[in-house]
Structure 1
Amino acid sequence: MSDGSVISPQGFQAGGFHCGIKRKRPDLGWIYSEVPADAAGVYTTNQFQAAPLKVTQESLAIEQKLQSILVNSGVANSCTGEEGLQKAYNMRASFAQHFSLPEHYTAVVSTGLIGTQIPMEKVKQGINQIPFHVQEAEQFGRSILTTDTFIKHIAIELNIDGQKVIIGGAAKGSGMVHPNMATMLGFLTTDAKVDQDDLSDALSEITQSTFNMITVDGDTSTNDMVLAMANGMAENNPLTKDHPEWQVFKQGLKIVCESLSKMIARDGEGATKLIEVEVKGASTNEAAQKISKTIVGSNLVKSAVFGNDANWGRIVNALGYAGEPIQLEKINVYLGNITVIENGNPVSFNEEDALSYLNQENVQIIVDLNQGDSDATAWGCDLTYDYVKINAAYRT
């Protein structure tokens, strides 16, 4: 569904608008389910977890259900002490009251500047304005952005138990994006009926091969999470790991997460290209993931791709310091379908062909270790002059 979003599944509403946290752009968004939804979440590994993460984790811990999510951008409510924590609780209480819900059926999410107190009066006034704004997914997508240059949403349709099931998603992320969650937010909705424990396990596993396989700049943020809600309104038989079509649902969830991940990587601050690094023939999945993330995160590799420079030495260099055992004489390296290393030795290639290949928007680097049967793919972006320009003046 090319125009799909978090409201494509049955029973979900969403919207967003400007409440005054930012100067002009939309800065308050929400998602609402007509019925309580089984829910799951994954969170940043940064030791400084922002107040909204703590409150949302508390909400999920009580009953593993959510019915609404409130998101603000512009201020992260991170490193704001007890006052910031109380404001996060206040956000949850105010939004839950608006929909007449138990407080623990509400999640709160913030993104933006660290160390600034959130202007609660503006947030509360914004909550009161929700009935006067059109409910639309595009405005929700805009309301959660910070330095992003485009909204990120998708939905796919599945057939399970003879019923149409839809999985929708939205995300934000542009800078401070690094494996193991980063300054990114992801929101997944589905009208499938899914066992909560199995939904949680699937989300954690899929996050490892999607959201945790992207990097923009090596910085891991304090606020980031992915939340999934399954409200069951498709009326399929409950999906569990033992359901004959469990893998159909799980693959659909992975497609949504991977698509959003690639959008985030492509929208890296100042980026002009999406870089995909595929590592094949590794001895373990962990080794393949580590090597692919190391290569795509290398500033020298990222700079070479920006400059259309087929400098394979930088790829080999990153491969060498990834910390995984390699057998140099077995390694093959490719830029798209151009071989640059074969059996550990450089191969003559046409520089003009390589320049032409690197001059396109999507660049693929393939490393075949020939040491096993495991593989992994990581996504990132090139490192440009604009990245420094954007981040040098982020606060001022």
Structure 2
Amino acid sequence: MELLNNGGVTSPKGFLASGIHCGLKKNSLKMDLALIYSEVPAAAAGVYTKNKVKGAPLYITKEHLSNKMAQAIIINSGNANTCNGVDGLHKAKRMSQVQAKALLLKTDEVLVASTGVIGVPLNINAIQSGIPRLTEKLSVNGGLDAASAIMTTDTFKKHFATQFMIDSKTITIGAMAKGSGMIEPNMGTMLSFITTDLNISGELLSEALKESVNLSYNRVSVDGDTSTNDMVLIMANALALNPKIENKNKDYYTFLKILNELNIIVAKSIAKDGEGATKLIECSITNAKTVKDAEALSKSVINSSLVKTAMFGSDANWGRVLCALGYSTATFDPNKVDVSFKSSVGEIKVFSKGGSLEFDEAHAKEILLQPEINILVNMNDGDVSSVAWGCDLSYDYVKINGDYRS
């Protein structure tokens, strides 16, 4: 996939964005309030965390998306607005009300998202005071500020865009995301916002998003913690003027393919930016019996703290991989399994058909010293594949999370 240079949520026609510091974060140099706005009403859809404890914004956003339409998304960082009871719900609703008034929209046309510390009352006065400036700053060049304003422990902005053709019309999709820790999306803290000028029904947009999330964000894990505030939202405003997609035809699958590719890029950027991470790890499972088995196996390896620490230490400890496969929910025969490690400098097989192999430890070390590692596992038991993404586990993960609230 070819990405647009400095592309993001304002790359599609008719989308503006902004980001400001309103006072939720102590550091005045860090932005903490973002806005995405479509100049026309848009079809919209969302996918949310499976955690039973959910942030107040999720309830408000799900309510506002009941008609599968929206025109703006307001996002704050620095406070998750979670476990704040009725007060949290009232403030999440208030965010959408004040922002809607500033944009001359109805309240239910504004979606809400929050990320940050759990259990601290949200400073709604700071947000209300910032909304006029946030709205005034809306521009086609505001995507980078918006991407900055949703960051918490992220070390870099995650913003992307690409283009493709449908029926001689150029379609653009943009995205921005945040996520670094508390990442085990079952739709971490992980937020992703996608914009497109595609003309598509709300029903099909929702179906496409759910399918795409399962192939991308739901295959990422940084630390195994499913956040309370995970959310992926998409808006499609139809300004590309393609014939409206109202059934699962060729155009629908063209869009789904590009959406999947873009979301995988976003998901991998989240895994790469895991708190304290030094390496992106990809676990590729091949020749498994079922999709369910393949997915369980790849996620089990990515989630293993011992695999993560071995990768941090560049140690070709394949026993930890076998262990993680073994305690997954998948059914398989260990005596059929092959394991290899691969990176930009080469590939080395370390385990085959139930037994260890002699291998060059120095070469293995060189492979695992690289910033992106692929753990290749061939189950030799079927024809199904899956992949999951994660990161290594370093000393800094404990440092970051040991004093997150201070």
Whether TM-score is above 0.5 comes out as: yes
Does residue 258 (structure 1) correspond to residue 268 (structure 2)? The answer is: no
Q: Which runs of 5+ in 1 are unaligned?
A: none
Q: Deviations over 1:176-200 (max 9, x none)?
A: 0014132100001000001211111
Does residue 5 (structure 1) correspond to residue 8 (structure 2)? The answer is: yes
- 2:363 maps to what in 1? 353
Distance 1:134 1:187, change over 3 A: closer
Distance 1:305 1:91, change over 3 A: same
Distance 1:282 1:2, change over 3 A: farther
Q: TM-score normalized by structure 1?
A: 0.98
Given that 2:35 and 2:135 are in contact with CA atoms closer than 8 Å, whether structure 1 keeps it comes out as no
- 1:301 maps to what in 2? 307
Q: What is the DSSP-based 3-state SS (H/G/I as helix, E as strand, rest coil) of the residue aligned with 2:65?
A: helix
Once the two structures are TM-superposed, the CA of residue 240 in structure 1 deviates from its matched residue by 3.8
Does residue 249 (structure 1) correspond to residue 252 (structure 2)? The answer is: no
Once the two structures are TM-superposed, the CA of residue 345 in structure 1 deviates from its matched residue by 1.8
- 1:27 maps to what in 2? 32
- 1:276 maps to what in 2? 282
- 2:20 maps to what in 1? 17
- 1:194 maps to what in 2? 200
What is the distance in 1 between the residues matched to 2:163 and 2:134?
29
- 1:125 maps to what in 2? 129
- 1:387 maps to what in 2? 397
- 1:371 maps to what in 2? 381
Given that 1:179 and 1:293 are in contact with CA atoms closer than 8 Å, whether structure 2 keeps it comes out as no
Code of the aligned partner of 2:390: G
Does residue 237 (structure 1) correspond to residue 237 (structure 2)? The answer is: no
Q: What is the DSSP-based 3-state SS (H/G/I as helix, E as strand, rest coil) of the residue aligned with 1:33?
A: strand
Once the two structures are TM-superposed, the CA of residue 134 in structure 1 deviates from its matched residue by 6.1
Does residue 65 (structure 1) correspond to residue 69 (structure 2)? The answer is: yes
Does residue 205 (structure 1) correspond to residue 215 (structure 2)? The answer is: no
- 2:95 maps to what in 1? 91
Once the two structures are TM-superposed, the CA of residue 329 in structure 1 deviates from its matched residue by 2.1
Given that 2:339 and 2:376 are in contact with CA atoms closer than 8 Å, whether structure 1 keeps it comes out as yes
What is the distance in 1 between the residues matched to 2:85 and 2:250?
48
Matched residue pairs, number? 395
Code of the aligned partner of 1:95: Q
What is the distance in 2 between the residues matched to 1:254 and 1:283?
23
Given that 2:49 and 2:185 are in contact with CA atoms closer than 8 Å, whether structure 1 keeps it comes out as no
What is the distance in 2 between the residues matched to 1:288 and 1:12?
38
Q: What is the DSSP-based 3-state SS (H/G/I as helix, E as strand, rest coil) of the residue aligned with 2:23?
A: coil
Q: Deviations over 1:244-295 (max 9, x none)?
A: 2222111110111101100000000000000000111111111111110000
Code of the aligned partner of 2:165: N
- 1:228 maps to what in 2? 234
Once the two structures are TM-superposed, the CA of residue 163 in structure 1 deviates from its matched residue by 0.4
Once the two structures are TM-superposed, the CA of residue 323 in structure 1 deviates from its matched residue by 2.0
% identical aligned pairs: 45
Given that 2:217 and 2:264 are in contact with CA atoms closer than 8 Å, whether structure 1 keeps it comes out as yes
Q: Which shows bigger deviation, 193-202 or 223-232?
A: 193-202
Does residue 79 (structure 1) correspond to residue 79 (structure 2)? The answer is: no
Q: What is the DSSP-based 3-state SS (H/G/I as helix, E as strand, rest coil) of the residue aligned with 2:94?
A: helix
Residues 287-298 of structure 1: matches in 2 within 5 Å? 287-298=293-304
- 2:157 maps to what in 1? 151
Distance 1:2 1:353, change over 3 A: farther
Alpha-carbon RMSD: 1.0
Q: Deviations over 1:270-324 (max 9, x none)?
A: 0000000011111111111111000001000000000000000000000111121
Q: Deviations over 1:200-239 (max 9, x none)?
A: 1111111111101101111111111000100000000112
Given that 2:17 and 2:138 are in contact with CA atoms closer than 8 Å, whether structure 1 keeps it comes out as no
Code of the aligned partner of 1:60: L
Q: Deviations over 1:31-63 (max 9, x none)?
A: 0001111011000011111110000000001x2
Distance 1:229 1:132, change over 3 A: closer
Q: What is the DSSP-based 3-state SS (H/G/I as helix, E as strand, rest coil) of the residue aligned with 1:388?
A: helix
Once the two structures are TM-superposed, the CA of residue 344 in structure 1 deviates from its matched residue by 2.1
Code of the aligned partner of 1:7: T
Q: Which runs of 5+ in 2 are unaligned?
A: none
Code of the aligned partner of 1:4: G
What is the distance in 2 between the residues matched to 1:169 and 1:118?
26
What is the distance in 2 between the residues matched to 1:160 and 1:321?
45
Code of the aligned partner of 1:8: S
